[in-house]
Structure 1
Amino acid sequence: MSRPRKVIVVGGGLGGLWAALRVAEAGFQVEIFSLFEVKRSHSVCAQGGINACFDSKGERDTIWQHIVDTLKGGAYLANQPPVKSMCEDAPGLIQTFERMGVTFSRTAEGLLDLRLFGGVKHRRTLFAGASTGQQLLYGVDQEVRRQESLGRLQKLEWWEFLSLGLNQQGACQGIIAMNLRTMEIKAFPSDAVILATGGMGQVYGHRSTNSTNSTGAAACRVYQQGAWFANTEFFQFHPTAMLGDDKTRLMSEAARGEGGRIWVPRDVDDRRRPGQIPEQDRFYFLEEWYPSYGNTVPRDLASRAIWEVVHKLGLGVGGEAKVYLDLTHLNPGFIEQRLHAILDIYRKFHGTDPIHEPMEIYPSAHYAMGGLWVDFERDDTTGGIKHGSPRNHATNIPGLYACGECDYGYHGANRLGANSLLSASYSGRVAGESVANYLQGLQQGHPSPEDPIYSKEINHQQELNRQLINDQGEENPYQLHRELGELMSSQVGVVRDNKTLNNAIESLRTLQQRSRNINLQEHNSWSNQGLTYARQLQEMIRLGEVIAVSALNRDECRGAHYKPEFELKLPENASAGDPAFEAYRNQWKAQNQNWLKTTIAKQTDWGPQVDYQAVDLSVLAPEEPRDYR
């Protein structure tokens, strides 16, 4: 007897909800699995806005310029057809959000308001105050709830993905998941799986702006089952994160886009209150070093500039690793209206008011440009992707798709601010449409839950749980996670070198050994939070090794990956076409065997194996290098 076609979506953020919505609208059954209520997904933490070209400010912005900014900002390491289609479809996506009921901020005339974001010279970021991600997620969730009411979709919240169900041909036919309340492990068959589990910022521990649930564990588990990771060395450090003992908290790029200025006292021994320091005694280093962009330079440049000011020039505020993000010169009513959400966070956790005193900030691990490798099919007529192709967002495992931050598809070596909400929404929609067409071509349906392909994996997962619960090891998982965060932040951080990366890899392998000797100190088999935490920690350590090995193998400075020893400086007054420029470019390419290639990491018994894949450059010819100063 044939069973109705069913798709499992793992993750309830913007990518997952969009994918589930498109599959359900195509008439297939959908199950959404989430670690918690989907309305708590990390998409709600996105603050500043979402990019789309509307040009309501009359700045002559164009969709083509959005494409160019995205590709150049990503240092030409993103496959170009998907980026082209994403930027072209962005205005229509915004209009769809509006029809869903999302209330974007508007001008006094009633037009969609726009703000400036880093790496661009035109206002193209739409926003809903400073809680844009929350408003977008809630809008899509209302449409998902409508599909629930029609019986096409079911949410299974408080379930954790443990592994894929793979048939004898290696195709994905469902998942194994664990109930986080009862710790019951069950098989859930399906005809396809879409992974939309977000980022992996917790690999950097408390020095990340990400939620405590952004562990990357689900992606790492499918990696161990044969899925490829791509470009994991490119990890974005957000330049403006509020410091804290428990974690860092994002102070949106919208603060710079609305006129915020970053500075430090010119004299490191200056102990005056920031408001008492006159202009001539302030070092507005982004404005001096990058006059074309000022405080809205791309995030990788801003983060490295802050790192240089603090660690090379020794000018951190009060001699510490922090600089000022200043809004005090702006109209208080204007700032309160536009940035209330982040002002409220800073007041609550720091105890001072950014309207009256500059914020203290420092770069923090924020966004993984890399992730699971996904395919696409190019449309030779349009130059973008072929919409509806089953290849779009397919991983190398048949039947497994990925979208949102857990895939690598749209940002290359560095993500432009406000392209994250766009890529999450767009990729989810594309993945859902692709899976719907993939199902049309399937000859056989999924097996029953009693099939041996599931029972063997269930037994394996149950044994892993028993070992962790019964082990009387010596290691504390919470201490190991803190050590992991410190290690990754200090040795695989904003600035890197090969000697340190080699040391980091050895240290990560030692951490892997220690993570097998954990003592949970709680041995209950009901709602054992320590058990789930320890299992996620083991995956985070493996991910740390993938990141470090990929970084070690890329000997260049590109986007968020910066190795000073491999940086070549552009000759003075050289421009494209000049003999000096061409000689420089050829030298740079000769030194760099993996120039304009995607890193592909594959799991082996001895660790990650790194290969490379050429980038599709069919839309825009690269201009190497790009000098913002």
Structure 2
Amino acid sequence: MTERGGAIVIGGGLGGLWATLTIANASFPVQLFSLFEVRRSHSVCAQGGINAVLDTKGQHDSVQQHIIDTIKGGEYLANQPPIKSMCESAPGLIRTFDRMGVTFSRTAEGLLDQRLFGGVKNKRTCFAGASTGQQLLYGVDQQVRRLESLGQVTKREWWEFLELLKDDAGCCRGILAMNLRSLEVRAFAAEVVVLATGGFGQIYAPNTTTSTNCTGAAASRCYQQGARFANAELFQFHPTAMIGRDKTRLMSEAARGEGGRIWVPRTPDDQRAARRIPEAERFYFLEEMFPSYGNTVARDEASRAIWRVTRQMGLGLRGTDRVYLDLTHLDRALVSTRLGAILDIYRKFAGVDPLDEPMEIFPAAHYPMGGLWVDFERDPDGGMVSESPRNHATSIPGLYACGECDYAYHGANRLGANSLLSASFSGRVAGTSAVCYLRGLGSGHARLRQHDIDRAIARQASQNERLMRSDGPESPFEIHRALGELMTAKVGVVRANPELEVALEELRELDARLGRIRLGDTKDWANQPLSFARQLRDMIRLGTVVTQSALARDECRGAHYKPEFKLSIPEGKFPGDPEFEDYRARWQANNARWLKTTIAEHRPEGPKIDFEPVDTSLYPPVNPRDYR
């Protein structure tokens, strides 16, 4: 076992790299674990940009407006002090990235360029063409490499996190991890662990924009060891995804921000080519349904509108689940400069140039607002205390979480371009908190016993052996496809309690089928089916948390949509009208019941679901947005 001391960071995306950089800069040694080369982390797939109020367009944008947009976009379901601190820190964070050498797109005058993104009315999204995540990740990675060369950071790429090592007091003191090449299971000690392992979109595969490594297995394993999981039911479906035979690929929200228009033919099953359909015969439904925001309406509203137009109105292209995302009316040179990366993706995998013909898109599972529950300490000004060991601490002492695997910033629906911001900011905060935790440790805390470590290693090695020798009729890859189809159909854009109850039964059946699998690969070197089969069980457990949480929340809020419980604003009625006042009373009663964080705790028989209050002290909830 590795010597005690220092920190372990699991995950090499933006959150993990920022945590690593912060801890190592404080002179504590860091071991950085990743399933693959750090530069392949899923942060590189983020395309459109990162939000910060710089007001380079002279629109009188303000940090306060960024805070309000984030809070309202999340339907008030996120604690507000962390949001306040994140939005206030965003401009400085952008300047730090700039000094790191990130190649942001700029105006002709040399200023950082900013574009429009969904759910807002001001241009506050900084970007680097359409490959922003990649440029940000590479910038931070260079800084971590510098510290690695000085011996402050040890990278352990191609290692998979298996479980936490906890002392008798329940504090996290290290991890077990498996070398994905040799399959060696080994213990690593540390005084603090930071989890930054991303989201869990693969429970919806193949209808997801996420990488095949976004299984959520690491967060699921921490949950099964006692970490609380929050707001699992809140999963954002991105409205503009390119449907492919192998996987679903994201067509960035920047396409809408740059002027892209979404439409379908007004005539059902119209077989004409898109360019042959006259303007008068096109249904620009986002512009008609949401005139205040048009095509830049928030993602949950856009996804449900597409769902309604295709599934309920029967206006999908050629009778399929597809609509047009049209860029053909825009300046070709400008679009090529600003959206080059996604244009190349579409050309390569669809064989069509989006500058000549509209893209065909449909909503796909994209981003979980929920994740591991993390704490915060509120300061007198309403933000977070800048240096507190409570910030981003999970319910397991000594374990912190940041990035897409925590729940802290997005409430019921994430604003576009707030993901790269929250990943970077939360990684830095988690790193600072881990440093505070390390500095506060005394010498009298509990120690790990070697025989407990040996027993844990033997248990994990036995599980590997059992899986490799299993000889049942089931394929883990078929079970995974069944999981994705189940979650998409019954726990997707639109939900209903009877279907959720059926989904829970089917998830139990999938879990049982895992006991009858056959890997088809028994070699003890780089056995990919072995790692996948282990992760699949954790995905099913996480799918159960999502479904049980969705069943428990009987309302429509953000990305969680149950039509049976929808509260509709009376048409043509205003404050003072009896019908409007009745609606207001029902809305207030709904908030009193459901404006709470969903908390899941692991039990052998299934997740225990409870609710806890949300801090709305800065901006109390007002009547929900009505784009009409």
**Smaller-chain TM-score range?**
over 0.9
* Matched ranges for 1:451-470 at <5 A: 451-470=450-469
- Name the counterpart of 1:166: 166
Distance of 1:240 and 1:17 partners within structure 2: 29
The TM-score with structure 2 as length reference comes to: 0.98
Change beyond 3 A, Cα 1:446–1:357:
farther
- Name the counterpart of 1:365: 365
**1:328 partner letter:** T
Distance of 2:342 and 2:413 partners within structure 1: 23
- Name the counterpart of 1:420: 419
Distance of 1:318 and 1:412 partners within structure 2: 36
8 Å contact from structure 1 (residues 194, 400) kept in 2: yes
Task: Quote the offset at 1:625 in angstroms.
Answer: 2.4
Change beyond 3 A, Cα 1:577–1:446:
farther
Could you say what secondary structure the match of 1:594 adopts? helix
Task: Quote the offset at 1:454 in angstroms.
Answer: 1.8
**1:205 partner letter:** A
Comparing 583-592 with 489-498, which one deviates more in the overlay?
A: 583-592
Distance of 2:96 and 2:220 partners within structure 1: 33
8 Å contact from structure 1 (residues 161, 175) kept in 2: yes
Percent of counterpart pairs with the same letter? 65
Q: CA-to-partner distance for each residue in 1:271-299, whole Å, 9 max, x for gaps?
A: 11101101000000000000000000000
Change beyond 3 A, Cα 1:445–1:57:
farther
* Matched ranges for 1:150-549 at <5 A: 150-380=150-380, 382-444=381-443, 451-549=450-548
1:560 aligns with 2:569: no
Could you say what secondary structure the match of 1:401 adopts? strand
8 Å contact from structure 1 (residues 165, 176) kept in 2: yes
Q: CA-to-partner distance for each residue in 1:465-507, whole Å, 9 max, x for gaps?
A: 1111111111101111111111000100000000010011110
Could you say what secondary structure the match of 1:459 adopts? helix
Task: Quote the offset at 1:618 in angstroms.
Answer: 1.1
- Name the counterpart of 2:101: 101
Task: Quote the offset at 1:338 in angstroms.
Answer: 0.4
Q: CA-to-partner distance for each residue in 1:350-402, whole Å, 9 max, x for gaps?
A: 0000000000000000000000000000002x210001100000000000000
- Name the counterpart of 1:80: 80
Distance of 1:547 and 1:593 partners within structure 2: 22
Change beyond 3 A, Cα 1:589–1:516:
farther
Task: Quote the offset at 1:527 in angstroms.
Answer: 1.1
Task: Quote the offset at 1:3 in angstroms.
Answer: 6.6
Distance of 1:124 and 1:574 partners within structure 2: 34
**2:498 partner letter:** K
Task: Quote the offset at 1:578 in angstroms.
Answer: 6.6
Could you say what secondary structure the match of 2:264 adopts? strand
Change beyond 3 A, Cα 1:67–1:122:
same
Could you say what secondary structure the match of 1:197 adopts? coil
Could you say what secondary structure the match of 1:458 adopts? helix
**2:560 partner letter:** H
Q: CA-to-partner distance for each residue in 1:329-356, whole Å, 9 max, x for gaps?
A: 0011111000000000000000000000
Distance of 1:201 and 1:571 partners within structure 2: 36
**2:358 partner letter:** P
8 Å contact from structure 1 (residues 200, 368) kept in 2: yes
8 Å contact from structure 2 (residues 242, 251) kept in 1: yes
- Name the counterpart of 1:148: 148
Distance of 1:184 and 1:5 partners within structure 2: 22
Task: Quote the offset at 1:511 in angstroms.
Answer: 0.4
- Name the counterpart of 2:64: 64
Q: CA-to-partner distance for each residue in 1:110-161, whole Å, 9 max, x for gaps?
A: 1110000000000000000000000000000010011111111110000000
Could you say what secondary structure the match of 2:295 adopts? helix
1:569 aligns with 2:568: yes
**2:5 partner letter:** R
Q: CA-to-partner distance for each residue in 1:81-121, whole Å, 9 max, x for gaps?
A: 00000000000000000111101000001111000000000
Distance of 1:218 and 1:400 partners within structure 2: 13
**2:122 partner letter:** H
**2:328 partner letter:** T
Task: Quote the offset at 1:586 in angstroms.
Answer: 2.5
**1:298 partner letter:** A
Give the paired residue count: 627
8 Å contact from structure 1 (residues 230, 408) kept in 2: yes
Change beyond 3 A, Cα 1:3–1:33:
closer
Task: Quote the offset at 1:577 in angstroms.
Answer: 7.3
Q: CA-to-partner distance for each residue in 1:419-467, whole Å, 9 max, x for gaps?
A: 0000000000000000000011111389888723322211111111111
Could you say what secondary structure the match of 2:27 adopts? coil
Distance of 2:182 and 2:535 partners within structure 1: 18
- Name the counterpart of 2:601: 602
Distance of 2:311 and 2:124 partners within structure 1: 34
8 Å contact from structure 1 (residues 183, 525) kept in 2: yes
8 Å contact from structure 2 (residues 598, 610) kept in 1: yes
Distance of 1:449 and 1:18 partners within structure 2: 28
Task: Quote the offset at 1:571 in angstroms.
Answer: 2.4
8 Å contact from structure 1 (residues 199, 367) kept in 2: yes
Query: Can you give the 5+ residue segments of structure 2 that lack an aligned partner in the other structure?
Result: none
Query: Can you give the 5+ residue segments of structure 1 that lack an aligned partner in the other structure?
Result: none
Comparing 331-340 with 449-458, which one deviates more in the overlay?
A: 449-458
Distance of 1:575 and 1:465 partners within structure 2: 64
Could you say what secondary structure the match of 1:515 adopts? helix
Distance of 2:438 and 2:276 partners within structure 1: 66
- Name the counterpart of 1:36: 36
**1:156 partner letter:** R
**1:383 partner letter:** G
Task: Quote the offset at 1:523 in angstroms.
Answer: 1.2
**2:110 partner letter:** G
**2:61 partner letter:** D
**1:436 partner letter:** V
Could you say what secondary structure the match of 2:607 adopts? strand
Change beyond 3 A, Cα 1:153–1:289:
same
Could you say what secondary structure the match of 2:602 adopts? strand
**2:487 partner letter:** M
8 Å contact from structure 2 (residues 204, 483) kept in 1: yes
Task: Quote the offset at 1:581 in angstroms.
Answer: 4.1
Task: Quote the offset at 1:575 in angstroms.
Answer: 4.9
8 Å contact from structure 2 (residues 80, 616) kept in 1: yes
Change beyond 3 A, Cα 1:336–1:325:
same
Q: CA-to-partner distance for each residue in 1:527-576, whole Å, 9 max, x for gaps?
A: 11110011111111111110000000000000000000000111234456
Comparing 586-595 with 349-358, which one deviates more in the overlay?
A: 586-595
**2:507 partner letter:** L
Distance of 1:126 and 1:361 partners within structure 2: 25
**1:189 partner letter:** A
Distance of 2:40 and 2:3 partners within structure 1: 32
Could you say what secondary structure the match of 1:604 adopts? coil
Task: Quote the offset at 1:204 in angstroms.
Answer: 0.3
Distance of 1:203 and 1:61 partners within structure 2: 38
**2:240 partner letter:** T
